[in-house]
Chain A
Amino acid sequence: MANKLSIITKGLLKENPTFVLVLGMCPTLATTTSAMNGLEMGLATMFVLILSNIVISLIAPVVPDKVHIPVYIVVIATFVTVLQLLMQAFTPDVYKTLGLFIPLIVVNCIILGRAEAFANKNSVWDSALDGIGIGLGFTLSLTVIGIVREILGSGAVFGFKFISGDGILAFVMAPGAFLVLGYLMVLFNKIAKK
């Protein structure tokens, strides 16, 4: 049981996709303009990650080695399309804010990376847990970056404003994303490698 739990928890710290593995940088930087956006992007990625991990662990034994990457990409692209259609139907506003970065989940290296590194040689159950763990780690990192950028950029957390005034606009725009991620990585290195 402890073994199963560690599959989930390793995604949060030891193999954190953002701060340790440094994968999936594009959505990490682009969608974290506020805490809420970061959280939503993280959840959307987690949805695709869990489902693709499950299916890939099921089909891995029968897929010929030569074509395994294209096959995996088609599986991932299918789930991304499912997600796109679901979001358009039920959460059109979120779909609009995240925009281009929903279809781009297809080329998020976290998902193909987990398929290659974990799902194709582990059981269905373990792969699903791995998807949950890595997905949670990704969601957590995105939310933290989003919180920092929202506080600095507009003096609010999850839309709840507690500092009056405009905030530092640059942190909501592109440069702030790089700066905040850079300094958070420093902090993470300092804490995790002690």
Chain B
Amino acid sequence: MEYLLIIVSAIFVNNIVLAQFLGICPFLGVSNKLSTASGMSLAVCFVITLATVVTYLINKFLLVPFGLTFLQTIAFILVIAALVQMVEIVLKKVSPALYQALGIFLPLITTNCAVLGVAINVVTKEFTFGGEAHMLNLGEATVYAFATSLGYGLAMVLFAGIREHLSLNEVPKAFKGLPIALISVGIMALAFLGFSGIV
């Protein structure tokens, strides 16, 4: 039951893009076409889940026991950068087809603040899912990270669909490009506000 709450909350109520403002740059950058948007979502999904698990373990078994938590920011960003590199190399060898699909997005993910944001959130913040506030354990953290990245994918794919339609419409010159896109995201976020109060 609690895992279900985590999933619903992370995808809809606290959507990472529309409510938490993480990962906006790639969200605006690659959402021009539905195909690139879904490719990027897949890559992000993969990296967020993996990075959260790895940084959670590093935090628990390395940084905390040795009193090094002030190094969190530096350690996490290095781990994420190394992880992205490794995923790239492994994918290239194991599944060339998937690498072809995700390849160009992977290097961009290092500087996607959603990855670092979720990793830091999971180890520093207390969450309340139905019960009382508590730090997440490894299982909950993994589910939370995966659900959050699904929420990222959902927002991205929905927005790419809207943007494909937008590009066919006549908009006033000053609104062209990003301004109209931002206003559309605003309206989307307004719609997602309707989910608040579910969990």
Contact = CB atoms under 8 A, between A and B. Distances in A.
B193 A173 contact: yes
Contacts of A109: 25, 111
B42 interface: no
Given A26-B21, A73-B81, A84-B73, A178 B183 contact: yes
Interface in A71-104: 73-74, 77-78, 80-81, 84-85, 100, 103-104
B179 A189 contact: yes
Interface string B39-73: 00000000000000000000000000000001111
A29 B18 CA distance: 10
Interface in A25-51: 25-26, 29-30
A103 B121 CA distance: 11
A112 B28 CA distance: 19
B174 interface: yes
B189 interface: yes
Contacts of A131: none
Contacts of B74: 74, 77-78, 81
B11 interface: no
Interface in A130-182: 170, 173-179, 181-182
A184 B164 CA distance: 23
A73 B107 CA distance: 14
Interface string B174-199: 11001111110111011011000000
Contacts of A84: 70, 73
A26 B121 contact: no
8 contacts: A26-B23, A73-B77, A81-B71, A112-B111, A175-B193, A178-B185, A179-B186, A190-B174
Interface of B: 18-25, 28, 70-74, 77-78, 81, 110-113, 116-117, 120-121, 125, 174-175, 178-183, 185-187, 189-190, 192-193
